[in-house]
Amino acid sequence: MVDWMRVGVRRHMLSLPMAIGRRRVSAFADQARSVIGGLSALERRLHRFLVAELTRAGEPLTPDAVAEALDLSREDVVRMLDALGARKALIARNADGAVTWAYPVTVTPTAHHLRFRSGERLYAA
């Protein structure tokens, strides 16, 4: 008997044999690590903060709120958000410029639900 897993590919959910699904997920994780590895120390700090805070807050994060929390200027935060957004695999912002997802989490509803041991619930990006 073959074990199956559901894997999101673009806007579709596919049922794949577990071995193939694991390879697909592993390849995506390798790609993300490669992108994150190319960040400066300050950009990594920002990305880690965004992931943690989106998980905690459960709502989009404005550049002003991020700047205040990290004790950075708004201009520096916006510049780094622009740089992270240009990488297409790390963050996305809404029309107001607030961060709505930071790989691997999002506050935008998706088919991928996460529940943490601490009780927080969120969506996977």
Other beta carbons within 10 angstroms of residue 19's beta carbon come to 10
Q: What is the mean pLDDT of the chain?
A: 82
Q: Is 98 helix (H, G, I), strand (E, B) or coil?
A: coil
Q: Is 72 helix (H, G, I), strand (E, B) or coil?
A: coil
DSSP code for 96? T
Q: How confident is the model at residue 91 (pLDDT cuts 50, 70, 90)?
A: very high
Q: How confident is the model at residue 34 (pLDDT cuts 50, 70, 90)?
A: low
DSSP-derived secondary structure for 49-95: HHHHHHHHH-S-B-HHHHHHHHT--HHHHHHHHHHHHHTSSSEEE-T
Q: Which of 24-33, 34-43, 56-65 is least confident? A: 24-33
